Structure 1
Amino acid sequence: MLNKNKDAKRLVEAILFAADEPLDIETIKSKIELNVDVLKILKELQSEFIDRGINLYEISNKWSFRTADNLSKKIASEVVQQRKLSKATIETLAIIAYHQPVTRSEIEEIRGVSFSTGTLEILFELGWVKPNGRKEIPGKPLLYVTTDTFLSHFNLKSLSDLPNSEELASAGLIDSRLDRSIFGTNKFAQDDLEKVSKEDIFSNIDDMLSGTLNKKDN
């Protein structure tokens, strides 16, 4: 049994290193073809690699090896992306991240301005946003959500790891007087806070979401 578990762990490690994308437990099980507790093996590997140059991450119930967080910035390529994301694109991403699933008209309502189809296409090309069904209202507009690639890029295990309104306020990324219901209800501010502009809100949230946009991933 000891050799079986040891062999299984080595095999799981090799499979994850060779994979070109994160793998879920069922996929790993199908590849090793051994009757072992794959989740237990993954947890053991995660613990063993915690102080190494690469760590084992679980993101959206999928597992992959990545450069350790405290090293990634030191070895990151300084090559700047030729296409810098526009303010409209980053605002749209922020809205989808916090209000998903959301329709195009709802995004425009929240931003207070319409945007071109190219804005969403950029997010599609990056793999950060995707259509996810249709809303059951007249016209049945498409609903948009973020992807596992979005979670991976921003090193989030799940959407619940997105900073909440209290954390954003304490970090100075949003006005502390802002109605916190902005995060999920399409409301921007209370009636008596009209001086807090949408532009100011987004410029700060943009800083949070766009911190890594000028560098390529490792």
Structure 2
Amino acid sequence: MTKETPELDTELEDLPPDLRWREWMGRIEAVIFASAAPVRAADLARVVGQGASVDLLIEDIKAELAGRPYELVVVGDGWMMRTRVRFAGAIRAAADVRDQLVDLNEFEVAVLASIAYHQPLTRDGLKDIFGKDINRDLIARLRAQELITPGPRSPRAGAPYTYVTTQKFLVVFGMESLRDLPDHEGLQDAGLAS
């Protein structure tokens, strides 16, 4: 026998407007906090009244979190909570976060960056960029860390797999979208491109 979940009162008409707004803020913050993945605005809209603006509620939550060690950020097409960068050292010192860290060597980062900039990209495309074959094990490691995933099959002979970056890639590198990738000039300034 399954237990039925009572329907959520999203309108909260029995509350005065200021308390209703605070309750909606709390609901949105709780949903984002509880989710391991970014939460889309359309999903957040299901916990607030029809006349409520998710964007305005998010802005009010962000304002309240201004002095906190975590923040609300856009990742892809959704919202998530993330610890502020300045607290990374304290977290590493006090908490066991090893299984959450992405462990990449310099060459793996270069391969990942190539995929990010040229996706969808085949292993042959990577070979053209690096001038050597890219080991299947390296691709498997990036896939195992959920940083890349197979993309559409290439229209070339044999229809080889292509690879594209994932939402976790955006989360790990703190980007809202691929538009946040540095341009060539930014890479040069960082000493990452010749």
2:49 maps to amino acid: L
Q: 1:52 aligns with which of 61, 68, 76?
A: 68
Q: 1:138 aligns with which of 141, 154, 157?
A: 157
Alignment of 1:36-185 (within 5 A): 36-77=52-93, 85-175=104-194
Give, in whole Å, the separation in 1 of the partners of 2:124 and 2:79. Answer: 35
- Could you list the runs of 5+ residues in structure 1 that have no partner in the other structure? 176-218
Q: 1:23 and 2:39 equivalent?
A: yes
1:126 maps to amino acid: Q
- How many residue pairs match? The answer is 174
Greater relative contact order (Cα < 8 A, sep 6+): 1
| C-alpha contact (below 8 Å) 1:22/1:62 kept by paired residues | yes
Q: CA deviation at 1:153?
A: 0.7
Q: What TM-score, normalized to structure 2?
A: 0.79
Q: What TM-score, normalized to structure 1?
A: 0.71
Q: CA deviation at 1:115?
A: 2.3
SS in 2 for 1:65: strand
Q: 1:8 and 2:24 equivalent?
A: yes
| C-alpha contact (below 8 Å) 1:22/1:63 kept by paired residues | yes
Give, in whole Å, the separation in 1 of the partners of 2:153 and 2:19. Answer: 51
Give, in whole Å, the separation in 1 of the partners of 2:116 and 2:89. Answer: 24
| C-alpha contact (below 8 Å) 2:71/2:81 kept by paired residues | yes
Q: CA deviation at 1:88?
A: 4.3
| C-alpha contact (below 8 Å) 1:53/1:68 kept by paired residues | yes
Superposed CA RMSD in Å reads 2.4
Give, in whole Å, the separation in 2 of the partners of 1:159 and 1:84. Answer: 21
- Could you list the runs of 5+ residues in structure 2 that have no partner in the other structure? 1-16
List structure 1 segments (4+ residues) > 3 angstroms apart after TM superposition.
Answer: 77-81, 83-88
Q: CA deviation at 1:33?
A: 5.1
